């Protein structure tokens, strides 16, 4: 039964305590949503909690957990439903790099990247979708992939495979969950982290004349979550990279 008495919309964000995930969380807090964050980085969660205004804390749930752990994801959603009563959207953002020379990459290291970056997305969707259907009726999932799903450098095997897997998961979920839940992916390129500074030359290699900002991704997430703006879009991926994947570069 849909609990229509609880009108304030709710979004769950994995890896939401810093960088892109944090920017997305702050964007939705500004828009008046309730926000649930699951993040493995306990220190980042503490910093997030300290910095947000006191009046915003009633609108946020912070949970320290590993998205590759089914129990942790389940408990996160239990706490989220207890606090906010509903769920409208999921943003899968949690990821680890694991960049390493291929011939030095161990099976355990490979599995850890796949577990967090791909299986974690599966668990967030698998355990969150029933809550969306029960409480809101309709909703949206946005999966944060990467341009490394489409192009690579040496030592990217685990990360690139996980990010490409996210694109397959995205269109599969769009088929399985439509029409009530739309599922899309975003492939960011070079997005500057908090306080990251790069050279003018590094900016100018982009066709836009600059590297990406966290706000660029957060705005696109909001567009894809909002049914009025993007209600006819599902199963797609959106590259946000300043045009870098469209450049031919030869040595």
Q: How many helices (H) and strands (E) does the chain have?
A: 9, 7
Query: What is the mean pLDDT of the segment spanning 58-74?
Result: 98
> Mind listing the pLDDT tens digit for each residue in 110-120?
999 999 999 99
Average pLDDT estimate for 33-50: 97
In which band, very low, low, confident or very high, does the pLDDT at 49 lie, cut at 50, 70 and 90?
very high
Contacts of 126 (CB under 8 A, 6+ apart): none
Confidence label for 5 from pLDDT (cuts 50, 70 and 90): very low
The answer to whether residue 79 is domain-embedded is yes
With CA atoms as reference, report the closest residue to 93 among 127, 60, 142. Answer: 142
Q: Report residue 65: phi and psi, to 5°.
A: -165, 165
**Looking at the domain assignment, is residue 82 inside a domain?**
yes
Q: Is residue 2 assigned to a domain?
A: no
Q: Does residue 237 carry a pLDDT above 60?
A: yes
- DSSP string covering 163-185, please? HHHHHHHHHHHHHHHTTTEEEEE
Q: Which of 54, 56, 5 is nearest to 35 (CA)?
A: 56
Nearest to 227 by CA among 23, 89, 122: 89
Percentage of the chain surpassing pLDDT 90?
93
- DSSP code of residue 208: T
Task: Answer yes or no: are the C-beta atoms of 13 and 144 closer than 8 Å.
Answer: no
CB 95 within 8 A of CB 40: no
Which pLDDT belongs to residue 81? 98
Residues 113-134, mean pLDDT to the nearest whole number: 98
E-strand ranges in 80-174 read 89-92, 139-144
Domain that holds residue 238: 10-246
Residue 1 belongs to a domain: no
Percent of the chain with pLDDT over 70: 98
Q: Within a domain: residue 251?
A: no
Looking at residue 84, its pLDDT comes to: 98
Alpha helices in the chain (DSSP H): 19-30, 42-51, 70-84, 107-114, 120-135, 157-177, 200-204, 214-225, 227-230
At residue 193, φ and ψ (nearest 5 deg) are: -75, 170
Inform me whether the pLDDT recorded for 179 exceeds 50: yes
Q: What is the mean pLDDT of residues 158-172?
A: 98
Residue 113 lies in a domain: yes
Give the Cα separation of 56 and 192 in Å (integer): 26
- pLDDT over 60 (residue 58): yes
How many domains are contained in the chain?
Answer: 1
- Over residues 195-234, the pLDDT tens digits come to 899 999 999 999 999 999 999 999 999 999 999 999 999 9
The stretch 226-247 carries a mean pLDDT of 97
Whole-prediction pTM: 0.96
**Residues annotated as catalytic (active site), given as ranges:** 159
Average pLDDT over residues 64-92: 98
pLDDT single digits (tens) 187-203? 999 999 998 999 999 99
* Sheet hosting strand 181-188, strand order edge to edge: 60-64, 34-39, 10-14, 89-92, 139-144, 181-188, 237-240
Task: Judge whether 3 lies within some domain.
Answer: no
How does residue 251 score in pLDDT terms, banded at 50, 70 and 90?
confident
What CATH code is carried by the domain that includes residue 220? 3.40.50.720
- The CA distance from 169 to 163, in Å, is 10
pLDDT band at 2 (very low <50, low <70, confident <90, very high): very low
83 occurs within a structural domain: yes
pLDDT at 249: 87
Average pLDDT over the chain reads: 96
Residue 225 near residue 187, CB atoms below 8 Å: no
Residue of higher predicted confidence among 21 and 2:
21
Rg (CA), the chain: 18
């Amino acid at each position: 039964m849909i609990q229509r008495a609880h009108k304030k919309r709710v979004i769950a964000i994995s890896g939401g305590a810093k960088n892109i995930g944090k920017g997305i969380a702050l964007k939705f807090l500004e828009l008046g949503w309730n926000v649930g964050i699951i993040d493995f980085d306990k220190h980042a969660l503490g910093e997030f909690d300290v910095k947000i205004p006191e009046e915003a804390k009633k609108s946020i749930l912070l949970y320290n957990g590993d998205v590759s752990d089914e129990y942790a994801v389940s408990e996160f959603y239990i706490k989220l439903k207890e606090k906010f009563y509903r769920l409208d959207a999921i943003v899968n953002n949690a990821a680890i790099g694991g960049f390493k020379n291929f011939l030095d990459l161990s099976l355990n290291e490979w599995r850890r990247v796949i577990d967090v970056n791909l299986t974690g997305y599966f668990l967030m969707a698998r355990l969150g979708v029933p809550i969306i259907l029960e409480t809101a009726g309709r909703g949206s999932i946005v999966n944060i992939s990467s341009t490394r799903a489409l192009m690579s450098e040496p030592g990217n095997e685990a990360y690139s495979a996980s990010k490409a897997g996210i694109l397959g998961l995205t269109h599969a979920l769009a088929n399985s969950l439509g029409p009530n839940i739309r599922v899309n992916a975003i492939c960011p390129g070079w997005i500057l982290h908090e306080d990251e500074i790069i050279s003018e030359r590094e900016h100018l290699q982009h066709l836009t004349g600059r590297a990406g900002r966290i706000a660029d991704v957060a705005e696109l997430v909001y567009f894809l979550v909002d049914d009025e703006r993007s209600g006819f879009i599902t199963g797609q991926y959106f590259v946000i990279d300043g045009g870098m994947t469209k450049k031919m570069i030869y040595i």
